[in-house]
Chain A
């Protein structure tokens, strides 16, 4: 994959312009620009375009924005840099190209970071997701001492060795945008063009919802219902995966890895909500994480039985 140099040396002026430029850059560099996954996830990695597609040997290149939710990070919209709902920009390429670092640096240039004036560093940071049964080696990337991205070479996902290895890039969009746009309070940064007729800041769009979710996440969410949701999702995931590969209705081989994985995502998010409600003790925590991991592993096992996962009849 050849590196294409960025065409926009000017600094971006809004949050959305950073997203648009990242999308344009990675599109130019050969990625399929996907849309966010339509479920509540804790991080961009949960998108099946990353978790499932990093399995098996079929080549893959995708980039997408993923709205993510971490209920415990809620601050009622009052924090300058923490929200329970936030955005990640995710790039996943399999096999990882030899010039992935250069491609990544090109993307920073595309969003207005001048390498001649800034200090970019790759600082050891190994990634592990106990809920996904996944780990990889890589770095957090620093720009002038601030972490702007995670850069990971996946070694294992859902308990499966990644062969070939996928390269994963995750940009924390709010922090990155605050830095590039020069705002200490993320709520104040322009979401759209600040000179447009109806300028909107990040806070205009999210502050109120943040307060609402914080209240619900911390104090109102019905834990009995959530516990039931967790168990339902777990049971449904198992039930889906128990089905025979061949659809009895038409005789076609249809391994339902992704619908099963949806239930895994659901269970994971419900667990995060229960955690925010403070009803999960330290010991139970490990047990819940283990249960989600078991689902993720079962889904990974199923995915490698699909064509996209490398199964051949």
Chain B
């Protein structure tokens, strides 16, 4: 074996100084990394390596991370070529301290006794340790940090391969790690379980096979580009989107935007080649959602719409290779696979339509019957039983949301029929969407059809909320049944565990009620739902859904929901403390009015005045063992301030009562805010605990009047601060 020749760009040996700058290039080359993991992995690589470098004393100017299906890349520039030497002095025990103390000090410093210095200190002679850490070459530090990074990399799932024990997302083949400056570049010496770091990488698997050496990031990026690899996923995504839209535009078509798919597809190719093909005419009549779902889920195709017809007529696929026939073979293959898939889809669609259109009573009877054999939950029974419950509850809810009870009940009975359809079996994510098509095909009212597709909504805080009354009725019943049912079998969410998505169901109820502004008495509905669950499920006697507990759960979710809208939790607590808190719309009206008033000076001070009145009153009531609830008599008022407060309270009271009656809480709060001045003035001038018992009692009753007058919208004692 001959001695290895130095690489052409080998850096001449020289002593590195801590002020010299260098660039670092790392590439971890492996078998195909799952697309969904690439972006986070490249960011993790950047963070772990740069954090490690900085911790070891190597600062840098900038770092950028990239990824392709086969590699994670990190480029760090302006890296210190060596860490600075560190000198640290540490004061130890006195020289006459017990031996134990000295031993501990030696252990913590890693020095021996003869390396310590004895110095004079205020209190006598003290041991000093001088620890000098020499500066280290970047290359040593990088090797250490990179090895640590690779061995502890936070992949969501990792694996072993061959006979080794190293873990990576898929087998790791190469580690490229070079440090470079104007003088040249050198490989960082590193060996991890038999993988020796080098300066080589590989190009595109098929278009540019074989390894080649690189010297720095610019050289790396340029050579890879020539070797048919675009290392930046953003560049690949932009390229794909530009080519896709251009191809579509040239035919007068438009690509259906799908950012998730774009990111995924960009993670499946190193050299994107965008191809557009036509969907076989036999399948163009399939619902757009079916075409889109089938193409996205199975083939990772983009859908291309004809704006004139509104139909999905073409597809876009992204290949990883350029071919001499410009992708004709690839496109033909993809078209054939798509046709086979869509043939399945068409088969399901036509079979399903036959069931939907069959003249049965009720419509889609076969599907509904089949749901008797589908378990929703062991203890809560089958889907059919669940539908019975939802239908009964929907009927109860319908009048409160302006829905026709018969129509709403029919909608509830059919909304989940599509769960038995072949299409939904194949594409579960099309539940509801297919139901709408099938109900329309059955010739039933459009409100009923719409409810099928909308009753699962909203599925999160940013999801659209149904507004059609029939949809709202079914959607509410669906969620309330879920909550009540799982409460009855004691499957409430705990901590981070919420396997039945009950928090989402509760939020759904809140959104449906609030966004539509319905005034619903939830307690009644929860009681009704609980009764229905008891009658129509397999819940035994011990199963009981405590409505109060569910309402508390709803209130907790409401707090989270309103906190995101900037309303403080104490404001909500103050309103929850009022009667009628199961009417969420009313509750939120109160909270908004209170929150608005609290933003003003008058409001803030009113709370202070109210609290002062309340505190004094509570204290005296406790002391005296009585409640001062009588109407105070103005004739015992002594000072102008006291008389003024009497007048102000009467005036405010006259405005507040009708406002609260009309649920105009803003007006009520405004009338209360006016009291701020008179209350402040009263406390300024008047001593509540007067010598005369009559006057004192009257004043305490006056304070009570403040408490009562200000308590009409919310329990202000709950307001913090």
Which residues of A approach B to under 8 Å, CB–CB?
A: 80-81, 95-98, 101, 115-124, 126, 136-139, 143-146, 153, 155, 162-165, 167, 179, 184, 281-283
By secondary structure, the B interface counts as: loop
B185 interface hit (Cβ, 8 Å): no
Known: A81-B340, A116-B206, A120-B206. A283 touches B378 (CB 8 A): yes
17 A-B residue pairs with CB within 8 Å: A95-B163, A96-B162, A101-B31, A116-B206, A117-B324, A118-B321, A118-B323, A118-B329, A120-B206, A121-B268, A138-B170, A139-B32, A145-B317, A153-B171, A163-B163, A281-B373, A282-B375
Known: A145-B338, A164-B163, A184-B340. A117 touches B325 (CB 8 A): yes
Identify 5 new A-B residue pairs, CB closer than 8 A, beyond the known A122-B69, A145-B333, A179-B333: A120-B320, A121-B269, A123-B268, A281-B373, A283-B378
Pairwise interchain contact A116-B323, C-beta atoms closer than 8 A: yes
Could you tell me the distance between the alpha carbons of A3 and B161 in the complex, rounded to whole angstroms? 19
CB-CB under 8 A from B374, the residues of chain A are: 282
Could you tell me the distance between the alpha carbons of A139 and B69 in the complex, rounded to whole angstroms? 12
CB-CB under 8 A from B162, the residues of chain A are: 95-98, 164-165
Q: Which 7 A-B pairs have the closest CB atoms?
A: A144-B333, A124-B34, A122-B32, A164-B163, A145-B334, A119-B319, A95-B163
CB-CB under 8 A from B69, the residues of chain A are: 122
Pairwise interchain contact A153-B159, C-beta atoms closer than 8 A: yes
What bracket does the count of chain B residues touching chain A fall in? 35 or more
Chain B, range 469-496, C-beta contacts under 8 Å to A: none
Pairwise interchain contact A283-B159, C-beta atoms closer than 8 A: no
CB-CB under 8 A from A97, the residues of chain B are: 162
Which residues of B approach A to under 8 Å, CB–CB?
A: 31-32, 34-36, 69, 157, 159-165, 169-171, 173, 206, 268-269, 299, 301, 317, 319-321, 323-325, 327, 329-330, 332-334, 336-340, 373-375, 378
Q: Which residue of chain A has its CB nearest to the CB of B328?
A: A117
Known: A119-B319, A164-B162, A281-B375. A146 touches B337 (CB 8 A): yes
CB-CB under 8 A from B321, the residues of chain A are: 118-120
Which of A119, A136, A139, A146 has the most B CB atoms < 10 Å from its CB?
Answer: A119
Pairwise interchain contact B161-A165, C-beta atoms closer than 8 A: yes
Q: Which residue of chain A has its CB nearest to the CB of B69?
A: A122
Which of A123, A144, A162 has the most B CB atoms < 10 Å from its CB?
Answer: A144
Partner of A119, one of B163, B301, B330, B373: B330
Pairwise interchain contact A124-B35, C-beta atoms closer than 8 A: yes
Pairwise interchain contact B163-A126, C-beta atoms closer than 8 A: no
Known: A122-B69, A282-B374, A283-B378. A144 touches B163 (CB 8 A): no
Which of A118, A179, A281 has the most B CB atoms < 10 Å from its CB?
Answer: A118
Could you tell me the distance between the alpha carbons of A139 and B34 in the complex, rounded to whole angstroms? 9
CB-CB under 8 A from B170, the residues of chain A are: 137-138, 153
Pairwise interchain contact B161-A118, C-beta atoms closer than 8 A: no
Pairwise interchain contact A155-B160, C-beta atoms closer than 8 A: yes
Could you tell me the distance between the alpha carbons of A153 and B319 in the complex, rounded to whole angstroms? 25
CB-CB under 8 A from A119, the residues of chain B are: 319-321, 327, 330, 333
CB-CB under 8 A from A96, the residues of chain B are: 161-162, 171
Pairwise interchain contact A98-B173, C-beta atoms closer than 8 A: yes
Could you tell me the distance between the alpha carbons of A71 and B159 in the complex, rounded to whole angstroms? 33
Could you tell me the distance between the alpha carbons of A184 and B170 in the complex, rounded to whole angstroms? 34
Q: Which residue of chain B has its CB nearest to the CB of A136?
A: B159
Pairwise interchain contact B268-A145, C-beta atoms closer than 8 A: no
CB-CB under 8 A from A145, the residues of chain B are: 299, 301, 317, 333-334, 337-338
CB-CB under 8 A from A123, the residues of chain B are: 32, 35, 268
CB-CB under 8 A from B269, the residues of chain A are: 121
Pairwise interchain contact A116-B324, C-beta atoms closer than 8 A: yes
Which of B317, B319, B324, B374 has the most A CB atoms < 10 Å from its CB?
Answer: B319
Pairwise interchain contact A165-B340, C-beta atoms closer than 8 A: no
CB-CB under 8 A from A184, the residues of chain B are: 336, 339-340
Partner of B375, one of A98, A116, A139, A283: A283
Could you tell me the distance between the alpha carbons of A139 and B32 in the complex, rounded to whole angstroms? 8
Could you tell me the distance between the alpha carbons of A298 and B157 in the complex, rounded to whole angstroms? 27
Q: Which residue of chain B has its CB nearest to the CB of A99?
A: B173
Partner of A118, one of B32, B34, B317, B330: B330
CB-CB under 8 A from A281, the residues of chain B are: 373, 375
Could you tell me the distance between the alpha carbons of A119 and B273 in the complex, rounded to whole angstroms? 10
CB distance from A109 to the nearest CB of B (A): 11
CB-CB under 8 A from B268, the residues of chain A are: 121, 123
Known: A124-B35, A165-B162, A282-B374. A117 touches B323 (CB 8 A): yes
CB distance from A196 to the nearest CB of B (A): 27
Pairwise interchain contact B375-A165, C-beta atoms closer than 8 A: no
Which of A97, A122, A162 has the most B CB atoms < 10 Å from its CB?
Answer: A122
Pairwise interchain contact A144-B161, C-beta atoms closer than 8 A: no
Q: Which residue of chain A has its CB nearest to the CB of B31?
A: A101
Could you tell me the distance between the alpha carbons of A124 and B334 in the complex, rounded to whole angstroms? 19
Could you tell me the distance between the alpha carbons of A120 and B373 in the complex, rounded to whole angstroms? 43
Q: Which residue of chain B has its CB nearest to the CB of A138?
A: B170
Q: Which residue of chain A has its CB nearest to the CB of B194?
A: A98
Q: Which residue of chain A has its CB nearest to the CB of B160?
A: A165
Which of B269, B327, B336 has the most A CB atoms < 10 Å from its CB?
Answer: B336
Pairwise interchain contact A137-B317, C-beta atoms closer than 8 A: no
CB-CB under 8 A from A118, the residues of chain B are: 321, 323, 329-330, 333
Could you tell me the distance between the alpha carbons of A145 and B332 in the complex, rounded to whole angstroms? 10
Partner of A144, one of B36, B173, B337, B378: B337
CB-CB under 8 A from B161, the residues of chain A are: 95-96, 153, 165, 167
Could you tell me the distance between the alpha carbons of A300 and B557 in the complex, rounded to whole angstroms? 49
CB-CB under 8 A from B337, the residues of chain A are: 144-146
CB-CB under 8 A from A120, the residues of chain B are: 206, 320-321
CB distance from B499 to the nearest CB of A (A): 15
Pairwise interchain contact A143-B333, C-beta atoms closer than 8 A: yes
Which of A116, A145, A146, A282 has the most B CB atoms < 10 Å from its CB?
Answer: A145
CB-CB under 8 A from A143, the residues of chain B are: 333
Q: Which residue of chain B has its CB nearest to the CB of A82?
A: B344
Pairwise interchain contact A146-B171, C-beta atoms closer than 8 A: no
Could you tell me the distance between the alpha carbons of A145 and B164 in the complex, rounded to whole angstroms? 33
CB distance from A57 to the nearest CB of B (A): 8
Pairwise interchain contact B163-A137, C-beta atoms closer than 8 A: no
CB-CB under 8 A from B164, the residues of chain A are: 164
